[in-house]
Copies of this chain bind each other. A is one copy, B any other.
C-alpha cells in the first residue's frame, strides 16, 4: 500500500478518537464548574506529551518488528506467556470498546444534528453492528479509495473548523467567548483532574494500528510505516490541540444533547451545509474506525488459537477468507456491551482506557526487554524511548484503573482476568490432549502406545426396524466389509417378534438376527442397552453400529423423522469400542 492510502485506512481509529476524547475530558472537568474547565489546557498538554512519547515508542517497535508487532506478539516474545495473554486480553477489550464507543460517538454526531433520532440510538447501533457483521463475513476488503475517503473528509472537516474558528477569534482579538453559568457539583481535586486525564487519553486509542500492519506497506516497509506513523501522530496532535483551543476560545461547555464538535461546528458554520458536512464526516470516520476492529479482533483471536490459547474454530476462514467466528464473536460481545450501556459514550469511556493502556504498557515493556537482550547499535536510545512510553502508559493505566474503578473500569479488569484464565485453561487442555495422544519419538506400529489393526476384532451391528431397501442396503454394506455381522430388531410383543423372524427367514436368513423386546415401543434405549451388554460381555470386540438411513433432500423432510443415527451416536459416545456409522439410501 502506498503511504497516502495506508494513512487514512490505518489511522481512522486513532484520528477519529478526537471526536470523543476531548469531550470525555471536558465532561469530567465540568463537574467542578469553571474552575474545573480551567484545567483543560494543562491536562491537554500532558496528553499531547503522551501522544508524542507513545508515537516515538512505536517508531522503535516498527523498526524491531517489521513483520508486524502487535502487543500480544511483542509481549509474548519478550515477557512471556502470561504477560502476552494479559496484553491480548487488553487488546480484546480495546477492540470490543472501539466498536461500541465509535458507534455510540458516531450516533451522537448524528443525533446532534437530528435530535429526534435520540430515542432510537440503541436499535440503530445494534443494526449497524449487524451490518458490519454481514459486510465483514461477506469479505468487504478495505478497498483503497472508498476507505480513504472518510478519513480525509474528517481531517478536512476538523481543519476547516479550526481555521474558521481561529479566523473568527482573530477578528475579536482572541478574546474567549463567555461560558454559560455553571453549577459546580464537585471541588477541583487531584482525583477529578486525574479522572479527566484518563478520560481525555482515550483521544489516542488506535495509534498502535500502523505498527501491527507494517507488512501492508510498499518496500522498504518499516521505513514507510515509520513515516506514516509520524504523519499520523502529527495529525492527531494538531487536531486534538486545535479542538481544545477552539473549545477554550468558544466558551464551549459539554452538553447532554449535543456533542462538543457539533457545538463548535454550529459556532463556525451555523446550521448550513458545512455544519452538516462536519457531522457527516465525523459519523463516517467513526463507522470506519468501528470497522477496523473487525479486522483486528479476529486476527488476535486467530493468533491465540494458533498458539492454542483459544478454541480452534477461530482458526477457520470462511469462503471469503474472513475469520467468520472471530467476526461473529466480536459482533455479539460488542452488541451486548453497546446494549447494556444504552449506547451512551460517556458510560463506555471508563471501560475503554484500561484495556488500551494495558496493552500499550505491556507492548512497550516488551520492547524494553527486546532492546536489552539485543543490545545492538543505538539500543540505549531505543530503550530510553520505549522506557518512557512504557512508564507513561503504565501511569495512565493505573490512573484509569483506580479513578474509574467503580465507574466501569472494574468490568474491563474483570474481563482481562477472566480472559487470561480461560486462555490458560484452554492451553492446558490442549497440552494435556497432546501429551495423551502424542506418539513416542521413534514411533512404529508395533509400539505399545499405538493400536495396530490386529488389536481390532470387529463385529458390525445393523439395527433393522423394517425389512426394506434402506435396511437391506446397510446389511449388504456391512457384509461387504468381510467382518461378522449381526442384525438387531426391536419388537414390542412376542407376536410381532415372531412375525419379523418369519419375514427374515423368507428373505433368506442372510445375516444372524437378534430380536430385543421393548413393550413400550421405545427403540433407542433397548438398542443402547443391548450394545452395552454386548460390550460388557465381549470387551475386546470393536462394535461398529451401521445405521440404515434415508437420505433426505430437504430440511423439512428431516423434521418428519427421528434422527436415529445421531441419537444413537450420542447415547453410545461414552463407550470407546463402539463406533456409529450411517448408510444412506438416496431415493
Q: Which residues of A contact B (CB under 8 A)?
A: 311-313, 315-317, 319, 321, 426, 429-430, 432-434, 436-439, 443-445, 449-456, 458, 467-470, 472-473, 476-477, 479-483, 506-508, 510, 520-522, 525, 542, 544, 550-551, 557, 559-562, 573, 576, 579-587
Residues of chain B with a CB closer than 8 A to A445's CB: 472, 476, 507-508, 510
Residues of chain B with a CB closer than 8 A to A476's CB: 445, 450-453, 455-456
Query: In this complex, which of A430, A443, A506 has the most chain B Cβ atoms within 10 angstroms of its Cβ?
Result: A443
Residues of chain B with a CB closer than 8 A to A311's CB: 559-561
In the A-B complex, the 8 residue pairs with the smallest Cβ-Cβ separation, listed nearest first, are A581-B581, A456-B480, A453-B479, A436-B587, A453-B480, A576-B586, A437-B469, A437-B468
User: Which partner residue on chain B sits nearest A506 by CB separation?
Assistant: B443
Residues of chain B with a CB closer than 8 A to A453's CB: 476-477, 479-480
CB A64 to nearest CB in B, in angstroms, measures: 27
Contact at A579–B584, with CB atoms within 8 Å? yes
Residues of chain B with a CB closer than 8 A to A480's CB: 453-456, 458, 542
Give me 16 other A-B pairs in contact (C-beta within 8 A), A316-B522, A458-B481, A579-B581 excluded: A312-B560, A313-B561, A426-B560, A437-B550, A439-B469, A439-B472, A445-B472, A445-B507, A451-B469, A451-B477, A453-B476, A453-B479, A477-B579, A482-B482, A544-B581, A576-B584
Contact at B584–A582, with CB atoms within 8 Å? no
User: Which partner residue on chain B sits nearest A563 by CB separation?
Assistant: B313
Also in contact, A456 and B477, with CB within 8 A (given A444-B508, A483-B482): yes
CB A398 to nearest CB in B, in angstroms, measures: 34
Residues of chain B with a CB closer than 8 A to A562's CB: 312-313, 316
Contact at A579–B587, with CB atoms within 8 Å? no
CB A403 to nearest CB in B, in angstroms, measures: 36
Docked complex Cα distance between A481 and B479 (Å): 11
Query: In this complex, which of A437, A452, A507, A557 has the most chain B Cβ atoms within 10 angstroms of its Cβ?
Result: A437
Contact at B470–A437, with CB atoms within 8 Å? yes
User: Which partner residue on chain B sits nearest A482 by CB separation?
Assistant: B482
Q: Out of B426, B450, B561, which one reaches A469, CB within 8 Å? A: B450
Also in contact, A430 and B560, with CB within 8 A (given A468-B438, A476-B456): yes
Contact at B481–A469, with CB atoms within 8 Å? no
User: Which partner residue on chain B sits nearest A559 by CB separation?
Assistant: B311
Q: List 22 A-B pairs, Cβ < 8 Å.
A: A317-B521, A317-B522, A321-B520, A429-B560, A430-B560, A436-B587, A437-B469, A437-B550, A439-B467, A439-B468, A439-B469, A445-B472, A451-B477, A452-B476, A455-B476, A456-B477, A477-B542, A480-B542, A481-B481, A551-B576, A576-B584, A581-B581
Docked complex Cα distance between A477 and B580 (Å): 13
Residues of chain B with a CB closer than 8 A to A482's CB: 481-483
Contact at A507–B587, with CB atoms within 8 Å? no
Docked complex Cα distance between A266 and B467 (Å): 68
Contact at B444–A469, with CB atoms within 8 Å? no
